[in-house]
Structure 1
Amino acid sequence: MVYESAFVPEGQKPFPRTILNEPSVSKYVEGWGKQSGDIGLIAENEQQAIGAIWLRLFDEAQKGFGNAETPEIGIAILKEFRGKGIEHALMRALEAEAIKFEYQKLCLNVDPRNSACRLYKQLDYVHVGWHDTYWIMEKKLV
């Protein structure tokens, strides 16, 4: 699902699967569940994983676009299941779990050309800055 989460603009070649070995990508799944505060949810259709959402809190040395108090979100939906409300349901479910962990806010990064920006705005995520060519979006939970 981490590979599926990589946005590829229309008409461009997909990333090579070796991108999963890049430290900037692999840090989102290495040692999953061993770190306190890791949260992940999977959407299934007939016992097949069709989507996933996860969050992880990073220290200052490893952070990407969040900070030491704000976990970073990743989300992926298989292409044939996008636009069916699964993204929305996963986002809401993850937010509910994050509140149980007493996180104050969440953040994500998204290519501004990605149609998912509309969903994030509908869910009250706000563009707060840039990380390379990606928007950083945050949502206050409480």
Structure 2
Amino acid sequence: MNFEIRSLERHDIPFLRDMVYESAFVPEGQKPFPRTILNEPSVSKYVAGWGEQSGDIGLIAEKEEQKIGAIWLRLFDDETPEIGIAILKEFRGKGIGNALMRALETEAKNYGYQKLCLSVDPRNPACRLYEQFGYEHVGWDDTYWAMEKELV
């Protein structure tokens, strides 16, 4: 599948919000979260003031100028940024996630980050992608796995 990856720009922030919502794993047979979850501080922190914080990195995947996925990272502590990723359902399983992960890791290394982290529901099939990229389960964050990867 042909697609392009580019840097996330200010005009992409509404799409980033959509992708943050899309990244919230909903197990098969359960109702999706209401969109108001985007207003919860634990979720809104991924988008609020995007680009104003030093070290924010985001990438957009596009196919024929249609945005089809995004990956982003943001620093919430002193040294390890947290990543998020989402691909529109109809474009999953086509290598877009792999390409976005590789591109983000390159950007993160170039920025000087030493390590990345993420949290994921252990029932989420994306866990396999993260493990393929070398992320390791290092603990729990409520009911989510905390995973980390050294970039050096």
1:34 maps to amino acid: E
In the other structure, the counterpart of 1:4 is 22
Deviations 1:36-73 (A, max 9, x none): 000000001111111000000014xxxxxxxx210000
Q: State the secondary structure of the residue aligned to 1:94.
A: helix
Select 1:57's aligned residue among 75, 87, 112: 75
In the other structure, the counterpart of 1:71 is 81
Select 1:81's aligned residue among 91, 105, 110: 91
Gaps of 5+ in 1: 60-67
- Ranges of 4+ aligned residues in structure 1 off by more than 6 Å: none
Counting helix residues as a fraction of each chain, which structure ranks higher?
2
Q: State the secondary structure of the residue aligned to 1:121.
A: helix
> RMSD of the TM alignment (CA)?
0.6
Alignment of 1:119-138 (within 5 A): 119-138=129-148
Gaps of 5+ in 2: 1-18
Q: State the secondary structure of the residue aligned to 1:2.
A: helix
The reply to whether residue 141 of structure 1 matches residue 151 of structure 2 is yes
Percentage of identical aligned residues: 84
Deviations 1:8-57 (A, max 9, x none): 00110000000000000001110100100000000011111110000000
TM-score by length of 2: 0.87
The reply to whether residue 27 of structure 1 matches residue 37 of structure 2 is no
C-alpha distance in 2, partners of 1:92/1:110?
A: 18
C-alpha distance in 2, partners of 1:12/1:69?
A: 36
C-alpha distance in 2, partners of 1:109/1:91?
A: 15
In the other structure, the counterpart of 2:128 is 118
C-alpha distance in 1, partners of 2:30/2:93?
A: 21
In the other structure, the counterpart of 1:47 is 65
Q: State the secondary structure of the residue aligned to 1:15.
A: coil
In the other structure, the counterpart of 1:94 is 104
C-alpha distance in 2, partners of 1:77/1:84?
A: 10
C-alpha distance in 2, partners of 1:108/1:84?
A: 22
